[in-house]
Structure 1
Amino acid sequence: MTVIRSLLLFALAAVAEIGGAWLVWQGWREHRGVLWIAAGVVALGAYGFVATFQPDPNFGRILAAYGGVFVAGSLAWGMLVDKFRPDRWDYLGAAVCLVGVVIIMYAPRR
């Protein structure tokens, strides 16, 4: 149950951070306006709080593992929202990052 909770929190953090950054990008680069930017800032702030709910008490471990989730999530967001087409190297890189997440977060420890 703890692993499932952790994975759901990583997914929620990815939506908040990647979505927030995308909203800022849209507001600034695509000239959609200050409300898009403000929504992005709120989402990015929410991301900061989501990470605090991870069951592991180590900030460095959580953020290091989240880095791998961010890489894979960013590619997925690009595919779903911006119709980005990753190549095989993007997929391989994301897979390597996700293996790193599993090792960092869920390897047996004493």
Structure 2
Amino acid sequence: MIHTAIVYVLAALAEIAGCFAFWAWLRMGKPVWWLVPGCTSLVLFAYLLTLVDTSQAGRAYAAYGGIYITSALVWLWLAEGVRPDRWDMLGAVLCLLGAAVILLAPHRA
């Protein structure tokens, strides 16, 4: 379980960094070369999700969603200087609970 949590956090960092590179290029006027590390980061994100210990890709992606949402709010705070409000925090907690149910429930094979 610790391995999965680490993979999800690293995947979220890679996905947010990759998406932010595109955001910076298109919305902030950064040079086009920002897409090179952005694309590399998105490839790393996709690879990392293959390391999750589940035989169903959809379940790995669904559980990852809660981690991604929480990580995006951390990014909002640390990288963009906007502190998440109580509604952001409540939403993140609900998403993490949903992710835990998806990941930890005794699914049928």
TM-score computed with the length of structure 2 as normaliser: 0.93
Which residue of the partner structure matches residue 55 of structure 1?
53
Unaligned runs of 5+ in 2: none
Unaligned runs of 5+ in 1: none
SS at match of 1:49: helix
Calculate the aligned-residue CA RMSD, in Å. 1.2
1:6 aligns to 2:4 (yes or no):
yes
CA offsets 1:12-56 (integer angstroms, 9 cap, x no match) = 100000111111111221111111122111111111111001111
Give the Cα separation in 1 of the matches to 2:82 and 2:63.
24
Counterparts in 2 of 1:71-82, with a 5 A limit? 71-82=69-80
Shift, 1:6, TM fit: 0.3
Give the Cα separation in 1 of the matches to 2:80 and 2:56.
34
Q: 2:84 aligns with which of 68, 83, 86?
A: 86
Give the Cα separation in 1 of the matches to 2:75 and 2:34.
17
Aligned length: 108
Shift, 1:63, TM fit: 0.5
Shift, 1:109, TM fit: 4.6
- Opposite residue 45 of structure 2, the aligned amino acid is Y
Q: Which runs of 4+ in 1 moved over 4 A?
A: none
Conserved in 2, the CA contact under 8 Å of 1:28 and 1:37?
no
